[in-house]
Amino acid sequence: MPLSLRALETLKSVADSGSYAAAARQMGVTQPGISQQVRKLEEEYGVVLFVREAGRLKPTPLCDRLCDAAERVISEFTTAEQMLCRHGALAKGELSVGLGNAMPGMSVIAAFNKAYPQVALQVTTGSHDKIMRQVINHTVDVGILPEVPKDGRFRCKTLLSNHVVAIVSLSHPLAQANEVDCEDLLRHRLIFRTPGSSTQKVLDRFFRRNGVAPEPFLSLDTRDGVYEAVVNGMGVGFVWRTGTGRNDDVKQLKLLGADTSSAEVVFAPAERKMETLDALFGLVDRIELR
């Protein structure tokens, strides 16, 4: 018979109690069931596990070593089971979150931490495509992104409506304006995000609706890279309006001529059941974001 956790528990119970009857009472099963399981182990592996002395079952040296190993296995199993049970629980549980933009996602995480300080939080940041894959693959429990597909795979809650804006350095010729259209943008060097970015998905749609497909002067794979390039006067970049709190050294410009808005969404696989997720989704309705 294959060695199982139940067989190890039976073996240890018989060794500790000294009889099949006592082990059966401890485990809530019949005495014949206990004795049969021990005999099957002995027959399957060609070993002797117990000898009878003075009316009691005494474990053989091999059985003693097996019981020591069984105790470690049972302890590790119990630990693993507790980890699984606690993972999504509000009492000392865990929650992993994937963010495409630092804001407004970090505001949600801060509000959750304030409401449930006993839950351990793990935060991952990355491109839109990276966070989508992590949510779908259950690498993270929940994601916060714009441009989330509306389908039955996900449980979703909208945080706010966000939109992509242009950013320029304070010394840039466009810094005196509050808005810019596609024609004006094409007169300047443009800094794009690499494919897979939600910002770039919206920006590509903006240019398509204006009937153009400009080539960027520079493409960067992170939002921080775009900011640094813009601050250093390398051109016009594009970010989500609420994507960061860092706005002192750049000027945001509204894009005219096509809609660049999208909902920022908290989402998780529809089948994922966790107390921490329920609490997070419930919190979204109560927090105020701008």
pLDDT digits (tens, 9 = 90+) for 67-89: 888 888 887 776 666 555 555 55
Do 66 and 132 reside in the same domain of the chain?
A: no
Burial of 155 (0-12, 13-18, 19+ CB in 10 A): middle
Mark out the alpha helices in the chain (DSSP H runs). Answer: 5-17, 20-27, 31-45, 61-87, 105-115, 128-136, 182-185, 198-209, 223-231, 275-284
Q: How confident is the prediction for the chain on average, in pLDDT?
A: 86
Helix, strand, coil shares, percent, the chain, to 5: 40, 25, 35
- pLDDT value of position 232: 93
pLDDT at position 288 is 58
**149 shares a domain with 33:** no
For residues 169 and 224, state if they share a domain.
yes
134 and 165 belong to one structural domain:
no
Residue 186: inside a domain, yes or no?
Answer: yes
Cα gap 65→12, rounded to integer Å: 11
Please report, rounded to a whole number, the percentage of residues in the chain having pLDDT higher than 90: 33
Residue 261, SS3 per DSSP:
strand
Query: Under 8 Å CB-to-CB from 63, ≥6 apart: which residues?
Result: 11, 15, 49, 50
Q: What band does 170 get if pLDDT is binned at 50, 70 and 90?
A: very high
- Rounded Cα distance, 22 and 14, in Å: 7
How far apart CA 167 and CA 241 sit, in angstroms, is 9
Query: Domain containing 126: what range?
Result: 94-159+264-284
pLDDT at residue 290, as a whole number: 45
Same domain (yes/no): 137, 126 = yes
| Per-residue model confidence as pLDDT tens digits over 230-276 | 999 999 999 988 766 666 789 999 999 888 888 888 999 988 888 88
The CA-atom distances, in angstroms, between 138 and each of 67, 266, 268, 289 are: 37, 15, 9, 27
Residue holding tokens 């999504």?
Answer: 88
Q: Distance (Å, rounded) from C-alpha 97 to C-alpha 94?
A: 10
Q: Which residues of 40-51 are buried (b: 16+ CB within 10 A; e: fewer)?
A: ebeeeeeeebbe
Is 289 contained in some domain?
no
- Secondary structure class of 137 (helix, strand, coil): coil
Residue at 106 is within a domain: yes
Residue pair 120/276 in contact by the 8 Å Cβ criterion = no
Contact 96, 268 (CB under 8 A): no
Say if residue 53 is in the same domain as residue 172. Answer: no
What pLDDT digit, counting tens, does each position of 33-66 carry? 888 888 888 888 888 989 988 889 998 998 988 8
User: Domain total for the chain?
Assistant: 3
275 and 133 share one domain:
yes
Residue 90's pLDDT is: 63
* Domain CATH code at residue 249: 3.40.190.290
47, 74: one domain: yes
Q: Is residue 134 part of a domain?
A: yes
**Residue 60 in domain:** yes
Please state, in angstroms and rounded to a whole number, the distance separating the CA atoms of residues 20 and 13.
Answer: 9
Tell me which residue of 133, 129, 146 sits closest to 239, measured CA to CA: 146
Of residues 200 and 150, more confidently modeled? 200
Calpha distance 254→240 (Å, rounded): 11
Same domain, 49 and 165: no
Q: Is residue 290 part of a domain?
A: no
Query: What is the arithmetic mean of pLDDT over 161-180?
Result: 92
pLDDT at 138 over 70: yes
169 pLDDT more than 50: yes
Whole-number Å distance between alpha carbons of 132 and 179: 31
Q: Based on the domain organization, do 116 and 205 belong to the same domain?
A: no
Is the backbone peptide bond immediately before 173 cis, with ω within 30 degrees of 0? no
pLDDT over threshold 80, residue 101: no
User: What pLDDT was estimated at residue 41?
Assistant: 87
Q: Specify the range with the lowest mean pLDDT, choosing from 23-27, 81-85, 107-111.
A: 81-85
Q: Is residue 192 in a domain?
A: yes
